Amino acid sequence: MTETSITLSEHNIAAQRAAELRRLLHEHNHRYFVLGTPSITDAEYDSLFDELDAIEKRYPDLITPDSPTQRVGSDLDERLPKVTHPAPTLSLAKAYTAEEIQAWRARIDKVLDTTAAFAYTVEPKFDGLSVILTYTDGLLTLAATRGDGYIGDDVTGSVRTIRSVPQRIPVGGNAPPVPRRLVVRGEVVIHKDDFKAFQARMQAEQPEGTARFINARNTASGALKQLDPKIAASRPLTCYAFGIVDASDALGERLPRDQYAVLLYLRALGFLTSDAVQRFEDLAQVIAHVQAFEAHRHDLPFEIDGMVIKVDDAAIYNALGVVGKNPRGAVAYKFPPEEVTTRLINVTFNVGRTGMIVPSAELAPVFVSGATIRQATLNNFEDVARKDVRVGDWVRIKRAGEVIPFVIGALPERRDGTEQAITPPECCPFCASLVVRAEGEIAYYCSNPDCPERRARQLEYFVGRGQMDIEGLAVRGVRQLMEAGLIRDEADLFALTAEQLAPLEGYGAQKIKNLLASIEAAKARPLERVIAALGIPGVGLTVVRLLLKDFPSLAALQSATIEQLDAIHGIGEALAQTVVGWFAEPRNRALLEKLRANGVQMLPAENNAPRSEVLRGLTFVLTGTLPSLTRDEAAALIESHGGKVGSSVSKKTSYVVAGEAAGSKLEKAQRLGIAVLDEAGLQALIAERLALRQD
């Protein structure tokens, strides 16, 4: 085997693994933030996230717009009205050791080109639900969840019931003045003592067998997202303020900007802020503080899973900008998860939409800091073998937050000889088809493309947010329709009628109307969204857009050869083989025809074709924050005139378009002598080339 073929094989394996990791992370985000029923620990989630991040850094062409690495986590609820935040509310990069905190500071020094000392504010990392509070003329007029960082759910009615949230600011006669419009970020939690009392009251009031409230964060989140504010009022919610998102008028311009001063200002207005916040003059003090604080984490009245370290100086913080979905000026130091021991009593197997089989451990229930642990997802069979974990073992697990634990390993000294090895099943637990493993792969797969569990997972993916966006179905809705025999594949969704839905449990007239309207809207999704939703391995929205530039219709794409697709920059032979193979399958071709017959338009987006070709042959790399264009808008502008947008700077790069807080890409461009444009320069380049073409 040649070196090239090995590289292509590795790329193909990486593409398949990246696709599966994206699916898993989207599913676990939905379970955690929306359903409130997490099935893996924070540590396991971080492990999956870090694996995907590593793959995408090695193979930048595998990055997709819907990748969890490219966006802030989302907790949006389809039932609630949506609110657009005045500024992004981003998540934070993580650090687990002193060395990683020092590496964070080193990255700051590199961006700022300085090693000058500056101060830090250190705050507890609340394990709650973020809210954005808007005050107009001192009155609370709007409250929203963080959502995806840009759009949140309107929870004003529920937040008004929280007594620690001021209805009017300032509170008290000696408080400082307030801008006409002030937007504050806070975190809703339930204090430990309050939660214990609430649990006891619920246990006394509710009939036996009713689901217990065993997780403070999900209890708080669930209360805020209820349509009836009385539910929020019945739960002991507390809100801590920790930042200013936006402020209007001249007074807003004079507000404190440094983080520690902002917290003092919020407290002076009447907001509740944490007493555990401290300011330090150097990083050594910060590291000593956060490491020592771990021993006192349970002394706080609320749950935390770490400490947030922020550059205190607002000017420096803002100059550092954002990398990916994380502000450079802050990092979350995560405490090591707590360990407990329990018995692994059984192993079950889950099947994903690609057919991948994942082992899941059933545990003897163990109560850990407010949560009864019963399950743990085992990563894969290779991980099980490496740890030598067996059914019947006593196992050490780490509690990461208040969710399901991560299995560290077994306690072999406690074995009595009755333990049984965990091995891959020979047949799929859902359809009894043969289980296979491709050469060179870790994962095992169900060999049956018509496996009902695979079909259910694929349909869940197809209707999901970022794919076809069919609201009102989600996981339970898809399975209900399958069990009723109303759908077998994606195309069947577009033939549903009100008469078919009416007999189903939970389907009232309004729900049916809303669902059918959402399905009708989905029929008009552009071709790129339809293809991305079909779940072709390694083919997300970014890859689809690359394909459609050269093959702008479905017929053209279906007829493309491996050689033609391989010639497209950013595709490669392995992915080309996957795409051609998928379209060659008769069952897939039949599905596309059925989708068309059921009204799915599958037409290219109107703006898919370039407005001109004046940038053809040029490759651009974007870095930093542009004054008026978002990164996606700048990329779309370049592509609309025939140019290509790359993810990394090389000798083949024609121009680097740099904005505020541009980082290492700008430095590399300067070293290589590549031309650098700002936003105005990009616009001027396009205008100049258009003028030359007209002449």
What residues are labeled active site? Answer: 125
Phi, psi angle pair for 406, to nearest 5°: -105, 130
Name the 3-class secondary structure at 142: strand
d(CA 632, CA 257): 29
The answer to whether the CB of 307 falls within 8 A of the CB of 287 is: no
Give the span between the Cα atoms of 329 and 309, in whole angstroms.
8
CB 470 within 8 A of CB 519: yes
One DSSP character per residue, 58-76 reads H-GGG--TT-GGGS-----
CA–CA separation, 530 and 541 (whole Å): 9
Cβ count near 692 (within 10 Å): 9
SS3 197: helix
Phi/psi for 190 (5° steps) reads -125, 125
What number of other Cβ atoms are within 10 A of residue 270's Cβ?
A: 17
Cα–Cα–Cα angle for 402, 405, 407, nearest 5°? 160
Cβ(510)–Cβ(528) under 8 Å? no
Kindly calculate the radius of gyration of the chain based on its CA atoms and give it in whole angstroms: 27
152/183 Cα distance (integer angstroms): 14
- Any idea what DSSP says for residue 404? P
Alpha carbon 243 to chain centroid distance? 22
Taking the C-alpha atoms of residue 93 and residue 306, their distance in angstroms, rounded to an integer, is: 12
